[in-house]
Amino acid sequence: MIAYNKTSLHNKEVQQQSTSAFESKLISADELQQIKAKYPVHFYTPNFFIRIGLFILTGIVVSFSFSLFSLIFMSSIEDAMKILLLFFSLLTYAALEFMIEKNNHYNSGVDDALLWNSAGMLLGSLIVIIDSGALTNCILTFLISFYCSLRFADRIMGVIAFLSLLAIIFFLFTDHLGISKAIIPFVLMAASAAVYFLMIRLEKKETLKNYKHCFTLIIIFSLLSFYAAGNYYVVREVNNAMFHLTSDGSLPFGWLFWVLTVLIPILYIIRGLLKKDVIFLRIGVLLIAAMIFTIRYYHSVLPLEIAMTIAGAILLILSYVLINYLRQPRFGFVYTEQKGDQKDEKSLIESLVIVETLGQEAKSSDATKFGGGSFGGGGAGGEY
Alpha-carbon gap, residue 126 to 130, rounded angstroms: 6
Q: Per residue in 286-345, pLDDT tens?
A: 898 888 888 888 877 677 677 778 777 877 887 777 777 777 776 666 666 555 554 444
Q: Per residue in 119-148, pLDDT tens?
A: 999 999 999 888 878 899 999 999 999 999
Beta-bridge mates of residue 105: 44
pLDDT at 129: 86
Alpha-carbon gap, residue 148 to 44, rounded angstroms: 20
- Confidence band for 247, pLDDT divided at 50, 70 and 90: low
What mean pLDDT, rounded, does the chain reach? 82
Contact 81, 22 (CB under 8 A): no
The gap from C-alpha 155 to its chain's centroid, in whole angstroms, comes to 4
Q: Is residue 221 pLDDT above 90, yes or no?
A: yes
pLDDT at 303: 75
Q: Is residue 374 pLDDT above 60, yes or no?
A: no
pLDDT at 31: 87
Report the SS3 class of residue 7. helix
How confident is the model over 250-267, as a mean pLDDT? Answer: 86
How confident is the model over 204-219, as a mean pLDDT? Answer: 93
Beta-bridge mates of residue 333: 330
209 phi and psi angles, rounded to 5 deg: -65, -25
Amino acid at 252: P
- Confidence band for 109, pLDDT divided at 50, 70 and 90: very high
Closest by alpha carbon to 342, among 31, 15, 27, 21? 21
Alpha-carbon gap, residue 58 to 67, rounded angstroms: 14
Contact 182, 230 (CB under 8 A): no
User: Which one is predicted more confidently, 28 or 181?
Assistant: 28
pLDDT at 151: 95
Contact 206, 236 (CB under 8 A): no
Alpha-carbon gap, residue 154 to 50, rounded angstroms: 19
pLDDT at 353: 53
Beta-bridge mates of residue 330: 333
Report the SS3 class of residue 356. helix
pLDDT at 281: 86
- Confidence band for 50, pLDDT divided at 50, 70 and 90: very high
Q: What is the 3-state secondary structure (H, E, C) of 74-90?
A: HHHHHHHHHHHHHHHHH
Closest by alpha carbon to 288, among 314, 256, 251, 323? 314
Share of the chain above pLDDT 70, in %: 80
User: Which one is predicted more confidently, 115 or 247?
Assistant: 115
User: Which one is predicted more confidently, 117 or 319?
Assistant: 117
pLDDT at 123: 94
Amino acid at 364: S
pLDDT at 144: 96
Alpha-carbon gap, residue 200 to 205, rounded angstroms: 9
Closest by alpha carbon to 28, among 343, 352, 341, 362? 352
How confident is the model over 65-89, as a mean pLDDT? Answer: 81
Q: Per residue in 281-296, pLDDT tens?
A: 889 888 988 888 888 8
Q: Is residue 245 pLDDT above 70, yes or no?
A: no
Closest by alpha carbon to 219, among 276, 151, 256, 268? 268
- The DSSP line for 30-70 is HHHHHHHHHS----B---HHHHHHHHHHHHHHHHHHHHHHH
Q: Is residue 191 pLDDT above 80, yes or no?
A: yes
For residue 343, count other CB atoms closer than 10 A to its CB. 9
pLDDT at 371: 46
Q: How far is CA 309 from CA 262, 299, 313, 316, 322, in A?
A: 22, 18, 6, 11, 20
Q: Per residue in 144-179, pLDDT tens?
A: 999 999 999 999 999 999 999 999 999 888 876 666
CA angle 150–152–158, rounded 5-degree value: 55
pLDDT at 97: 95
* CA torsion through residues 202, 206, 210, 216, sign: positive
Report the SS3 class of residue 140. helix
